[in-house]
Structure 1
């Protein structure tokens, strides 16, 4: 049959200049598939058609989640275990003899996570707008993570440690992690809460494993050589992940600097989003302080280095459980109620378990367990609030994540100098350990103001979350009346 006599068929072209929601993209391809079954000529005219892997399951989804979990474990888990390195650095006379060492060394941990958080406001919109760069960023970011720690293992000054282990590592982590987060919304829709919970649990798993590994490496090889071995292990561990760190949807064809259509700005007037941002900021001011200082606090109880590291491992291990549980629960329970429960319980745990009962090793472990489960699960609740605000727009979801991570990063970075100042404030306080028998008195009362500060941060965040719950409940009632 000549071309002139062929049946007419509509040309279907997937001209993607923005991010098409998953459901819409699937429906487009479904219609193309149905059309081709009716008219066999259509496949000759369909361009950019792709057979998509299943969403919420299948080898592609679960292999991606496993690889992304390992990335999260490395990128976030290493800084989560920095408290073990900090305790070692603060014993090193070479570092302590340098000006400002006691103020700069604690900053390494907060910079390595805080910069990753804050960079989200720039890098997430970029990776959403230019998806063709995602896999390149993953490769570059992984190499920088390895190179920064490898270089830090040869550092001889505090400033070099801050620049390499703190700043440069964070840059690499940002480039490696952001594309993975963008891919989550492509692979998971109905199970996105569970997927985000599993992904964020990687942070806690890294923080659980490394506190057991680092002290042994340091004891045998010293801090510098231990860091060098860890950098090599990180580089090797990332290699098998790369083939699975890819999106489910075809890469968008982008032409020009602007996406088609006007951007959705409705979120700017969304009260739940701004309340969540305020809660995230306040929670960030307190959350990272115990993670940073718990091993040092434990050393003041005259327990072994391995048991000091165990306190941080328990906290991070409990956090892994909390993140998965909260992520799963957010698919079925009001996320604002979950946020209120996590923040309120964290405040009580800080005042009672850390402030009163942590004068013993058992009490400190109890605090780490409760605090890890409740405070650690907070970020797993973000998707349940962000998705309705973004109306399941994948590009907008990643952008809003970037803003939330920025708020958390601000609290992360600021909390270190604040807590360090509070520690110095209490150095002149002398409360005999054997007389008070409370966690407030450990280290001659050195940590009292720090404990109170963390508890107040969580209490204030819980008060703000009540406003978020009230706004959402009012909206639900209005929708019910209209319906």
Structure 2
């Protein structure tokens, strides 16, 4: 019987890790940059529709990408022979969606192309690469996932500025078509290096998938914390630029704060991944939650000037930006409890739960803004502005992201 290549080290393992890290830019680059396009569409002629309708494109793109993960991860775990084809198909769909949207003149066309098709294509591109990473990295899974998510964070630093510069000079049609070409150049070589560690001939395509982890209350407590954390996670990055603008700060302040958040997420993801290989996942999640909560309630809640907002962006980016890296610890914990569990199924459900939180956050944030105070120009801190209720909610959801740890402590006390 042919032995498998070594996991956690060796040339092939590091090539897969490098490929999974670099491919985050093609997968998430457009969704991360959509705010730049939204601003352009709402301030320039060419797209028929209200600003609110244009915003639906972004929420559809991000929400659908995450919500489809349980389905794609389940199918690719059950039928691993589909994985080599899923990435190229996803790339083709993504390219087609960008080219189609470059000729859009109405909002519904943007929703169909950029919102739905781009989400499907990017999701199909992401799913098999993540499953390959899961095969090649076992004992050091946390560090591997931390590196992968750091790649996503790094793309959030670079890609939006590139898109903004291209939009200002060439407009959306040329920018979208140029990004489509860039996807081919960036992604096609990476797909060649992203290969399974377990040969397809050895894959258990006929063995029923094990869903026993769904009977484990610990999984559901972690999932509840995951959904709640996701509910508030995007609120600061969504409204931070508007908050800075309403405070009367320079026009570049919003872009700078978002860039600082993304930069801080890179070491944050690596650090959380490092902890994930050494401590129980509930402990690591607690560290992320406490750091995020302090950042929101202390630094954003009291911020009415640029210096404190920068501190907030650094601390929140470091701790909250690395939250998804805790998934590696959850996968290892579920595997420890039941050796037969398919970690791809667990990962898919965790990403799907994140999508639920993201989708629910949009309507809730709009309602919170309407309920907040309108006085902001001479505000002494964030709590006294219209963003006050949102800051409190974000801090509460950040803290409740550690619900898995809280449940464990509560169970220990009661027992």
TM-score, normalised via structure 2 length: 0.91
Which of residues 156, 168, 176 in structure 1 aligns to 2:125? 176
Q: 1:330 is matched with which residue? A: 276
Distance 2:326 2:76 in 1: 23
Report the counterpart of residue 453 of structure 1 in structure 2: 393
d(CA) in 2 for partners of 1:226, 1:341: 40
- By how many angstroms is 1:217 displaced? 1.9
CA contact (8 A) 1:124 1:178 kept: yes
Distance 1:68 1:272, change over 3 A: same
**Residue 69 of structure 1, CA deviation:** 0.9
Q: 1:87 & 1:233 partners in 2: Cα distance?
A: 22
Question: Contact 2:210–2:340 (CA<8 Å) still a contact in 1?
Answer: no
Partner of residue 135, structure 1:
84
> Using a 3 Å threshold, how does the CA distance of structure 1 residues 395 and 232 change in structure 2: closer, same or farther?
farther
Which whole-Å deviations, capped at 9, do the CAs of 1:436-474 have from their partners, x for residues lacking one?
232345xxx343332222222223333553114565x79
Is the CA contact 1:212–1:306 (under 8 Å) kept in the aligned structure 2?
A: no
Task: Please tell me whether residue 219 in structure 1 is matched to residue 171 in structure 2.
Answer: no
Aligned residue in 1 for 2:300: 354
SS at match of 2:200: coil
Give the counterpart of 1:62 among 6, 9, 14.
14
Q: 1:149 to 1:162 in 2, by over 3 A?
A: same
Q: CA deviation at 1:179?
A: 0.6
Aligned residues of 2:221 and 2:403 also touching (Cα < 8 A):
no
Note closer, same or farther for the CA distance 1:103–1:233 as it changes in structure 2 (3 Å cut). same
Q: CA deviation at 1:394?
A: 7.7
Aligned equivalent of 1:419: 365
SS across alignment from 1:433: coil
CA drift of 1:51 comes to 5.0
SS in 2 for 1:105: helix
Cα distance, 1:166 vs structure 2: 1.7
User: Which of 252, 256, 270 is 1:310 aligned to?
Assistant: 256
Among 245, 262, 280, which residue is 2:226 paired with? 280
Normalising by structure 1, we get a TM-score of 0.79
SS of the residue corresponding to residue 54 of structure 1 reads coil
The offset of 1:187, in angstroms, is 0.8
Measure the CA separation in 1 of the matches of 2:127 and 2:365: 29
> What's the CA shift for 1:242?
1.4
The whole-number CA distance in structure 2 between the counterparts of 1:138 and 1:120 is: 14
Give the structure 2 partner of residue 431 of structure 1: 375
Query: SS of 1:90's equivalent?
Result: helix
Are the equivalent residues in 2 in contact too, given 1:68–1:245 (CA < 8 A)? Answer: yes
Alignment length (residue pairs): 413
Residue in 2 that maps onto 1:467: 407
Greater shift, 328-337 or 382-391, is seen at 382-391
Aligned equivalent of 2:351, options 405, 409, 412: 405
Once residues 286 and 394 of structure 1 are traced to their aligned partners in structure 2, the CA distance between those partners, rounded to angstroms, is 34
The runs of 5 or more residues in structure 2 that have no matched partner are: none
Note if 1:86 corresponds to 2:29.
no
Q: 8 Å contact 2:269–2:321 — kept in the other structure?
A: yes
- Say if 1:131 and 1:468 are closer, same or farther in 2 by CA, change over 3 A: same
Q: Secondary structure at the match of 1:57?
A: coil
Q: Can you list the C-alpha shifts for 1:163-192, whole angstroms capped at 9, x where unaligned?
A: 222221110011111111111222111111
Q: C-alpha offsets along residues 117-160 of structure 1, whole Å, 9 cap, x if unaligned?
A: 11121111111111111011000101212221232222222222
* Counterparts in 2 of 1:294 and 1:154: CA distance versus 1, 3 Å: farther
- Against the structure 1 CA distance between its residues 247 and 254, is the aligned structure 2 distance closer, same or farther, given a 3 Å change threshold? closer
C-alpha distance 217-469 of structure 1, shift in aligned 2 (>3 A)? farther
Determine the structure 2 residue equivalent to 1:197: 146
Q: Trace 1:244-323 onto structure 2 (pairs within 5 A).
A: 244-252=193-201, 259-260=206-207, 263-323=209-269
RMSD: 2.5
In structure 2, the partner of 1:33 is none
Mark the runs of 5 or more structure 1 residues left unpaired by the alignment: 1-28, 30-49, 479-483
**1:384 is matched with which residue: 310, 326, 329?**
329
SS of corresponding position for 1:345: helix
Measure, in 2, the Cα distance between the counterparts of 1:360 and 1:287. 22
Deviations 1:206-225 (A, max 9, x none): 11112322222222223443
* Pair 1:284–1:303, CA change in 2 (3 A): same
Equivalences for 1:7-86 in 2 at 5 Å? 29=1, 50=2, 52-86=4-38
Classify 1:337/1:300 alpha carbon distance in 2 versus 1 (closer, same or farther; 3 Å): same
Could you tell me how far apart the structure 2 residues matched to 1:423 and 1:230 are? 34
In the other structure, the counterpart of 1:364 is 309
Q: Out of 400-409 and 360-369, give the one that drifted further.
A: 360-369
The 8 Å contact of residues 282 and 402 in structure 2, kept in 1 or not, is answered as no
Structure 2 Cα separation of the partners of residues 438 and 468 of structure 1: 36
